[in-house]
Chains A and B, each alone.
Chain A
Amino acid sequence: MKKLSIALAACAVTALTLTPQAAKAGTLEDVKARGVLNCIVNTGLPGFSYTDASGRWKGFDADMCRSVAAAVLGDGEKVKYIPATGKTRFTLLNSKEGDVIFRNTTWTFVRDVSVKLNFIHTTYYDGQGFMIRKSKGVKSTKELDGATVCIQTGTTTELNLADYFRANKISYKPVPIESNEEARKNYIADRCDTYTTDASGLAATRASFTKPEDHLILPEIISKEPLGPVVRHGDDQWADIIRWTVFALIAAEEHGVTAANADAMAAKKAPATARLLGGEGDLGKMLGLDKDWAKRAIKAQGNYAEIFERNVGTKTNIGLARGLNAHYTNGGLQYSPPFR
């Protein structure tokens, strides 16, 4: 199971050495020919990407995969989910096992520039926090001196943790763990005093406990974690498709287009929504898709607000407020460039 990551790395090397230099077909052609979108997601993070009792992938990230599949292939269900740990995700993308990563992945300089990835847009503005049992009596991260800390290995949180504790001269013992699920188990078993990851992930993990009220998320947020979809370097057309599909979901929220009313709004021919929904002009063709692409994406899983509220919003047991992720008209950071 965990040996998978080693195997994958080895496979990546093998793939690099043995894959013949094929004529460069674009990712779009590959996806269309295959008829399925290979979407790299988290192995299991409630609210973002997880499988429910019937085995269906659910969550904020999993739904966005469906939006893209609807835009590109015309059917939001034509998604093959490829679960990846923090360590395996980029290898899976670069070895072309997956077409896109929708897996709460932090946009950083090194990943963008040196790991040769293209970050599309921040779909979720997050920051790293700490969760601890209330019984430990800790009220602030500054009190964590000597604590054992569970982290997901291969993530930015691992680096932030080292920086933050060094800067504050706090000693700690790291316990590196492969996946959120394993980290959760170790935290529950009290192998570590505190678990650190993105605050959204902590809220989602806490919501899955039998007694969430016994656990506290400490007030300090120690980093910026802009999370969003990622594609390989070197295929601008594919990057544009993902980027503008995400923007379409955000613009849909701005213009009040929802999954339910998308068809009606398209018929209304108001200028901004008509261009977005394909009633006017042919933006889709410029992307290499057809003119209804955005309408299909919105109809598949709803606009950004619908996806957010359904999966992680205040009405769910995860209960995250929009905060920075509110639309800019409501004081948040989610903002789509104009469709024209």
Chain B
Amino acid sequence: MSDNVSQGSDQQVSTQPNYLLSLWRNKETRSVILQIITIAVFFAFLAYIINNAILNLAALGKTFSFDFLDLPASYDINQRLIEYTSQSTHLRAFFVGLLNTLLVAFFGVITATILGFLLGIIRLSNNWVASRLVYVFIELTRNIPVLLHILLIHGIIVHILPSPKQAHTLADSIFLSNRGLTIPDPVAGDGFIFTVIAFFIAIAGAVYFRSWAKKKREEEGKIYHVFYISVGILFGLPLLVFLLSGLPLTWHVPEMGRFNLKGGITMIPELLALWLALSLYTSAFIAEIVRAGIMAINKGQWEASEAVGLTRDRTLNLVIIPQALRIIIPPLTSQYLNLTKNSSLAIAIGYMDIVATIGGITLMQTGKEMETMIIVLFTYLCISLLISSAMNWYNKRLKLVER
């Protein structure tokens, strides 16, 4: 890169050292030179490792290609959210694994958030016993590696729960055994579509009511219980239509086959264990983040709210939490990312996520370590960046708007 610099000074050979020195002494050109050198070193390193990878692959006699993705995978996967057989391609196996990863991450994030907020608020409550109990739970949970949580919960499910023939059952329709949690399969009858339509109408109604109530509040100062009324609309209307249309929904209750329950929807022990373990583990961290966020709000805010006559609940909902969220969201994002990435520990108990499918069996059966690992790495990168940008968008929306 220094060629570029010396070219300009070809005519003044005798003064070249001074000229270069003066370029170096100039603060602006120096920073440009340093940046050029940094980029050159970075690309040289990149070229070196890529070249090495090519040479080493060649030494092993391996080619670099993603053609294997079109070949039949030849293995079965026990949890499939999309249609998949052993005749499907490796690419499809990848998507099955990806959906399994996303499934556990999605439910994990939701339960961890709800649990984390509850724990965080209880931790701050004036009830000494409740606060201490939560404190013990948090310290115990977050100081044990998540892999042990996963193995422990999986071990409990598999070793302590009974086999399917002696399954714990609720009303002979929900079964819990060491093969998982099985619930009846809903079968929609004629006219169920009306209930679905009613549900969408209810959503629209709730949204409209919300803005109407807001307007009323701003114009007339009249306060409605927006939350309860919305929930009432959302559940009440579909329920009413469902009853009027003559309960057009039947349940396909699982029955005991020779080995396993047949029919119904089963949550396999591996999914249960992974979901519970990730939720519990992450909720402990979220609880601390929530506690920190609330405690960071100036005491004056509480006192001011009290002075204008707000109840404790309304203070929390209208004053404290909206401000605390600004502190909570950024570290919360890291927890969501951690949870998603920790889901790759699924392999320990045989949950078929993306690492177990494309990064495991496909890698083994095709010998394409480089290609499969690149796919897995980029997939995690993409998921993480998506979560990150969604949370950043939410964070921006919550930001203090300065007027």
User: Which residues of A does B touch, CB under 8 Å?
Assistant: 1-3, 5-6, 9-10, 12-13, 15-21, 24, 86-87, 90-91, 94, 110-111, 114-116, 136, 143-148, 153-155, 158-159, 161-163, 165-166, 172-178, 186, 189-191, 193, 232-234
Contact = CB atoms under 8 A, between A and B. Distances in A.
Interface in B368-401: 369-370, 372-374
Interface of A is mostly: mixed
29 contacts: A3-B147, A3-B347, A5-B360, A6-B355, A9-B359, A9-B372, A16-B53, A18-B52, A19-B56, A20-B52, A21-B55, A94-B60, A116-B62, A146-B259, A146-B262, A147-B258, A153-B350, A153-B356, A163-B74, A166-B85, A173-B78, A173-B260, A174-B77, A186-B158, A189-B158, A189-B159, A190-B163, A190-B178, A234-B60
A107 B370 CA distance: 23
Chain B interface bracket (under 10, 10 to 19, 20 to 34, 35 or more):
35 or more
Contacts of A174: 76-78
Contacts of B75: 158-159, 162
A116 B61 contact: yes
Interface string B337-380: 00000001101101010011001110111110110111000000
A114 B367 contact: yes
B344 to A, nearest CB: 7
A149 B87 CA distance: 19
Nearest to A15: B56
Given A144-B259, A162-B86, A232-B60, 12 more contacts: A2-B348, A3-B147, A9-B359, A13-B370, A20-B52, A110-B365, A136-B259, A146-B257, A174-B78, A176-B78, A191-B179, A234-B61
Contact of B366 (A87, A94, A110, A176): A110
Contacts of A13: 369-370, 373-374
B116 interface: no
Given A19-B56, A136-B259, A189-B158, A154 B360 contact: yes
A299 to B, nearest CB: 35
B361 A153 contact: yes
Contacts of A153: 350, 356, 360-361, 364
B204 to A, nearest CB: 42
A179 to B, nearest CB: 11
Interface of B: 49-50, 52-53, 55-57, 59-62, 74-78, 85-87, 147, 158-159, 163, 178-179, 257-260, 262, 269-270, 344-345, 347-348, 350, 352, 355-356, 359-361, 363-367, 369-370, 372-374
Contact of A176 (B55, B56, B179, B350): B350
B158 A191 contact: yes
Contacts of B344: 6
A25 to B, nearest CB: 12
Contact of A3 (B49, B61, B345, B373): B345
A90 to B, nearest CB: 6
B367 A115 contact: yes
Contact of A17 (B52, B147, B350): B52
- B75, B262, B344 — most chain A CB neighbours (10 Å): B75
Contacts of A145: 258
Contact of A1 (B59, B178, B348, B366): B348
B348 A233 contact: no
A90 B374 CA distance: 18
Given A17-B52, A153-B361, A159-B74, A176 B178 contact: no
A86 B76 CA distance: 17
Contacts of B372: 9
A189 B49 CA distance: 47
Nearest to B147: A3
A176 B359 contact: no
Contacts of B78: 173-176
Contacts of A114: 366-367
A19 B55 CA distance: 10
Nearest to B372: A9
Nearest to A186: B158
Contacts of A111: 367
